[in-house]
Chains A and B, each alone.
Chain A
């Protein structure tokens, strides 16, 4: 009985063929395919053209696995064993089509998955590289832009203090407005780049939300009035005065939304509402909502308005870069929130976001207010007639001039100049200074490196000289590294005259 099965399952899938030294078929059992006696096996399939090499090889027996033999109608996948005999070659051909077909399916799945993973990794690497390049470009670009912008703004201010006729004053106003816009644009681009590169970290502290709202009301009431609009602020009474969050970034979100609301409303009113959602433990969920009576947003644009450089209406009059909402979107994502919008064409839009923030449960608001206010307390001006010796380290002549003018305006400083990092140490050893105002990027030795050298100096009178850094490199991580180097404060260009002078006063003894 077993012989019968052997015949049925094995013998019918194995062909025996004998060929002579010249490849002529001597005998074939034709189990799998027909091979006429006397024909050349080389003509049957190109595989068999390699038999000559087998005859020449020293091996007595050679096996070929998984050989595809495409015949007229069928495709056979075979293992072929060639055995050398005295007068020719014995070929044993095994039909393993079924077995190899299932192996093919498994290999297909495996290879496809490996290739897919590899290509995904490559694609991600490419995207990361592109993102890195973009952010590096923005960083360098903003750096290069800050120096000339600082000069423009500062010189414009100096010119503003001189006697000008009406026409000149008007032109100067335009110049100052344009440079202020450029400064805002630069800050927007930096924010976008920092959000995109994950460099922007939230600075969470307790602050007075009421004060923030008052500031917004004050600012936007007058902005709205200028455009003939009404401005309204509403706050639910359950909202606590103090909350824990990043005041600056929340302020940035709200000013972007309010600026847009005013920009796109020609008449009617703009409102900012703070609604109460719920409180649990020491967390409060609230909704900030900015409503305008502008033209509204078409439905097809609702998904794209939060992308960078998207502006709904390309009117020159409205200006802007289209970065505002993208910044809002990015900042809110960082805060675990999401910007949403409802809009009706011809009636206006409502931008809103729900945010959960911690709030202190048992703090007396008055003492807390003191803490919050302490940082904003006015810096004491030096008494009249008192003068301090200041070393100004700056290699850019335009900025040097502007800073000198600012310092001279106060009548509180004697100023010495150095424009090379390598000259600083010898200067402070030979002269006694009350404070150093120093650019970070300098010829030969950079400002942060000089600061480290000063802080490691053995003599206290030199080691403790206050140092205020100025930099065009406005990334938070850079500023932190300059502070870590030992600078007492770092101002990023372009800076305001008042802020610069106040910062210097802060460190004078």
Chain B
């Protein structure tokens, strides 16, 4: 049986979680911002190797600036986490290290990727320095709009999930 892994996608509202998933699953993008309430769940089968696939069940959670308030039921049985922030809005990453601590305590011992989204809005030269200065470690800088690094992000997570299994 094909293995299936639950991934929760978290972060503040308006950071582009839904757009990242849509880009990954259907390779589309819309500029219209529609707020996610509750949870949307989609599925995508990812090829790990020519003989091996994995089914990613992506839980797109409603954005919140209070990570503590995320309902525990949504996190039950999670295999991996993607934490997304918006690189153009400091409010979405100014407490990032603290937010990550909270998530880790709620979902311990699972692979975890930190993603700065909306790179299409910032000059590449400015990117790394801002986060290095603020001691923020980022795994991927993505753009759901252009698709930049989106597949890489989910592939990396899928591979981590397979190797951890």
Residues of A within 8 A of B (CB): 45-47, 49-50, 52-54, 56-57, 62-68, 77, 100, 103-104, 107-108, 111-112, 114-115, 118-119, 122
Contacts and interface: CB of A to CB of B under 8 A. Distances in A.
Contacts of A53: 6, 76-77
A82 to B, nearest CB: 9
A108 B39 contact: no
Contact of A122 (B37, B57, B73, B90): B90
B89 A119 contact: yes
B73 A63 contact: yes
Contacts of A108: 34-35
Given A49-B57, A77-B37, A119-B88, 6 more contacts: A50-B57, A50-B76, A53-B76, A53-B77, A57-B77, A62-B73
Contact of A49 (B6, B33, B89): B6
B89 A118 contact: yes
B80 interface: no
A50 B77 contact: yes
A62 B39 CA distance: 15
B41 A47 contact: yes
A100 B40 CA distance: 13
Nearest to A57: B76
26 contacts: A45-B41, A46-B41, A49-B4, A50-B57, A53-B6, A54-B77, A56-B77, A57-B76, A64-B74, A65-B73, A66-B38, A67-B39, A68-B38, A68-B39, A68-B40, A77-B38, A104-B37, A108-B34, A111-B13, A112-B35, A114-B13, A115-B89, A118-B89, A118-B91, A119-B88, A122-B88
B73 to A, nearest CB: 5
Contact of A112 (B33, B62, B73): B33
A107 B37 contact: yes
Contacts of B74: 64
B160 interface: no
Nearest to A107: B35
A188 B4 CA distance: 70
Contacts, number: 72
Interface in B113-145: none
A114 B92 CA distance: 12
Q: Is the interface of A mostly helix, strand, loop or mixed?
A: helix
Contacts of A118: 89, 91
B163 to A, nearest CB: 21
The 5 closest A-B pairs by CB, nearest first: A66-B38, A53-B77, A46-B43, A108-B35, A68-B40
Interface string B8-34: 000001100000000000000000011
A67 B41 contact: yes
Contacts of B35: 104, 107-108, 111-112
A84 B71 CA distance: 19
B155 interface: no
A46 B89 CA distance: 32
Interface string B72-97: 01101100000000001111000000
B42 A65 contact: no
A68 B76 contact: no
A52 B6 CA distance: 11
Contacts of B6: 49-50, 53
Contacts of B90: 122
A66 B62 contact: yes
A103 B38 CA distance: 10
Nearest to A79: B38
Contacts of A104: 35, 37
A114 B6 CA distance: 31
Nearest to B40: A68
Given A46-B43, A64-B74, A118-B91, A111 B14 contact: yes
A362 B35 CA distance: 69
Nearest to A64: B73
A65 B73 CA distance: 9
Contacts of A66: 37-39, 62
A54 B76 contact: yes
B89 A122 contact: yes
A108 B37 CA distance: 9
A284 to B, nearest CB: 52
A49 B7 CA distance: 12
B71 A65 contact: yes
A111 B42 CA distance: 24
Contact of A52 (B13, B34, B77, B88): B77
A53 B41 CA distance: 16
A67 B88 CA distance: 30
Interface string B51-74: 000000100001100000001011
B45 to A, nearest CB: 11
A343 B89 CA distance: 48
Nearest to B13: A111
A391 B54 CA distance: 86
A138 B19 CA distance: 44
Contacts of B89: 115, 118-119, 122
Contacts of B76: 50, 53-54, 57, 62
Contacts of A111: 13-14, 35, 63
